[in-house]
């Protein structure tokens, strides 16, 4: 299983290029994509390396030596022996997202899973990597020094005990060796209730979203997607949030989203104050033409007050840093 975001197209091409032709395993790929994107990533990966790559199809059988690519606006999930596509709730504003794939694989395949986190911003993939490790799987990340955007592999390595951090070109031989090794099923940690519920939410399984005994504790924060209450979850040291309808965020993603919301609110306030100043100016001019000096002074005072407030907000907007999450690099044409 491979997850990537910004800078991920180049990393995925290198990954596909290094895979052996006779790999005794299936490969599943999630790249963050806008829901309305027209992705030709399957064709790109199909040409990049020896393994055939194609868009994943809901319900199709899993076969060794193939690359299954998540389509836009669908989570790519695994079940015993087959692929599932789901329009379950977004995670960190993404669908497809990396964590749902990793969790579904950890749920059903345990120690047989190898997760790979490549270039990307923020920390999608960290929670899924944690789930893979808890179930006895192997976790690999791209060397952050090589990644165009190092945050995703760094976060996975920070919050989960990854097994290897290495350049993309060295991953193929390692994966071939791991796939050929026998896997010990004894002593594997059972699927936790939390993992079971979160995997079911992503798959839109009946009753999962409405389970009253939800994992986590009420956080007091609101979901940026639907404004519902968020529950706080914890994977080791990684803090996450999920709402009743299933939208999920890491703490970093939630903080970034709140920063965007703050900027939007400031722009709205600036617009209202500038319109207020313009209206007060117009009313002052009309009152002046009618010889109403007392009313003129009142409108002029309102205009000065709105202008001064608008200037304060304008200075705040200038100081807001650029968004911490660049858009994923989406292949739009072959």
Domain span at residue 113?
A: 2-180
Q: By percentage, how much of the chain surpasses pLDDT 90?
A: 82
Q: How confident is the model at residue 322 (pLDDT cuts 50, 70, 90)?
A: low
In a shared domain, residues 29 and 176: yes
pLDDT digits 0-9 by tens, 132-169: 999 999 999 999 999 999 999 999 999 999 999 999 99
pLDDT digits 0-9 by tens, 78-119: 999 999 999 999 999 999 999 999 999 999 999 999 999 999
Straight-line distance from the first to the last Cα atom of the chain, in angstroms, rounded to the nearest whole number: 23
pLDDT score recorded for residue 215: 76
pLDDT score recorded for residue 334: 42
pLDDT score recorded for residue 35: 87
pLDDT score recorded for residue 293: 94
For this structure, is 32 an active site residue? yes
In a shared domain, residues 153 and 265: no
Indicate the pTM of the whole model. Answer: 0.84
In a shared domain, residues 172 and 80: yes
For this structure, is 104 an active site residue? no
Catalytic residue among 32, 75, 93, 247: 32
Task: Select from 134, 163, 180 the last residue of a domain.
Answer: 180
Catalytic residue among 39, 94, 119, 124: 124
Domain assignment present for 332: no
Catalytic residue among 5, 155, 219, 252: 5
In a shared domain, residues 270 and 157: no
Which CATH number covers residue 146?
3.40.50.180
- Interval 162-189 mean pLDDT: 93
Domain assignment present for 227: no
Task: Select from 124, 146, 180 the last residue of a domain.
Answer: 180
Q: How confident is the model at residue 328 (pLDDT cuts 50, 70, 90)?
A: very low
In a shared domain, residues 175 and 306: no
In a shared domain, residues 271 and 173: no
pLDDT score recorded for residue 102: 98
Task: Select from 154, 180, 206 the last residue of a domain.
Answer: 180
**Number of domains present in the structure of the chain:** 2
- Interval 39-55 mean pLDDT: 97
pLDDT at 321 over 70: no
Domain assignment present for 48: yes
Q: Dihedral sign, CA of 77, 56, 53, 184? A: positive
Q: Are 27 and 41 a contacting pair, CB within 8 Å?
A: no
Other Cβ atoms within 10 Å of 89 Cβ, number = 22
- Interval 193-201 mean pLDDT: 93
In a shared domain, residues 266 and 174: no
320 or 163, greater pLDDT:
163
In a shared domain, residues 16 and 123: yes
How far is residue 167 from each of residues 10, 95, 217, 252, measured CA to CA in Å? Answer: 13, 27, 39, 26
In a shared domain, residues 17 and 149: yes
pLDDT score recorded for residue 209: 60
Domain assignment present for 289: yes
Q: Are 128 and 330 a contacting pair, CB within 8 Å?
A: no
pLDDT at 171 over 90: yes
pLDDT digits 0-9 by tens, 5-31: 999 999 999 999 999 999 999 999 999
pLDDT score recorded for residue 319: 82
For this structure, is 124 an active site residue? yes
Domain assignment present for 278: yes
pLDDT score recorded for residue 325: 44
In a shared domain, residues 128 and 264: no
The 3-class SS string of the chain reads CEEECCCHHHHHHHHHHHCCCCCCCCEEEEECCCCCCCCCHHHHHHHHCCCCEEECCCCCECCCCCEEECCCCCEEEEECCEEEEECCCCECCECCCHHHHHHHHHHHHHHHCEEEECCCCCCCCHHHHHHHHHCCCEEEEECCCCCCCCHHHHHHHHHCCCCEEECHHHHHHHHHHHHHCCCCCCCCCCCCHHHHHHHHHHCCCCCCCCCCCCCCEEEEEECCCCCCEEEEEEECCEEEEEECCCCEEEHHHHHHHHHHHHHHHHHHHHHHHHHHHHHHHHHHHHHHHCCCHHHHHHHHHHHHHHHHHHHHHHHHHHHCCCCCCCCCCCCCCC
Domain assignment present for 42: yes
Domain assignment present for 155: yes
Q: How confident is the model at residue 187 (pLDDT cuts 50, 70, 90)?
A: confident
In a shared domain, residues 24 and 123: yes
Q: How confident is the model at residue 205 (pLDDT cuts 50, 70, 90)?
A: confident
The closest of 101, 119, 96 to 33, measured between CA atoms, is 96
pLDDT score recorded for residue 134: 96
pLDDT at 226 over 60: yes
In whole angstroms, what is the distance from residue 145 CA to residue 276 CA?
Answer: 51
Domain assignment present for 95: yes
In a shared domain, residues 146 and 10: yes
């Amino acid at each position: 299983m491979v997850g990537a975001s910004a800078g991920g197209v180049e990393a995925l091409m290198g990954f596909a290029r290094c895979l052996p032709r006779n790999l005794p395993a299936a490969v599943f790929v999630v790249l963050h994509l806008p829901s309305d994107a027209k992705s030709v990533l399957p064709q790109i990966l199909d040409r990049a390396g020896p393994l055939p790559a194609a868009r994943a199809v809901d319900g199709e059988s899993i076969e060794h030596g193939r690359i299954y690519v998540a389509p836009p606006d669908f989570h790519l999930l695994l079940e015993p022996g087959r692929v599932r596509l789901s329009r379950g709730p977004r995670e960190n504003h993404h669908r497809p997202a990396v964590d749902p794939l990793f969790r579904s694989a950890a749920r059903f395949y345990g120690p047989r899973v190898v997760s790979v986190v490549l270039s990307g911003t923020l920390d999608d993939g960290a929670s899924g990597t944690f789930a893979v490790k808890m179930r006895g799987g192997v976790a690999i990340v791209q060397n952050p020094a090589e990644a165009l955007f190092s945050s995703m592999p760094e976060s996975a390595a920070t919050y989960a005990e990854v097994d290897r951090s290495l350049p993309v070109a060295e991953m193929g031989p390692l994966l071939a060796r791991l796939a050929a090794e026998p896997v010990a099923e004894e002593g594997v940690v059972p699927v936790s209730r939390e993992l079971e519920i979160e995997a079911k939410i992503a798959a839109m399984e009946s009753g999962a979203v409405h389970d009253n005994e939800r994992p986590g504790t009420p956080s007091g924060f609101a979901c940026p997607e639907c404004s519902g209450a968020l529950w706080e979850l914890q994977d080791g040291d990684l803090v996450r949030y999920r709402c009743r309808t299933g939208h999920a965020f890491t703490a970093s993603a939630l903080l970034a989203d709140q920063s965007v919301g703050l900027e939007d609110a400031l722009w709205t306030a600036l617009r209202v104050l500038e319109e207020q100043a313009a209206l007060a100016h117009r009313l002052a001019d009309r009152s002046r033409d009618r010889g109403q000096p007392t009313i003129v002074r009142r409108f002029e005072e309102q205009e000065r007050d709105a202008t001064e407030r608008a200037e304060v907000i304008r200075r705040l907007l200038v100081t807001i840093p650029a968004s911490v999450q660049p858009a994923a690099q989406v292949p739009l044409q072959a």
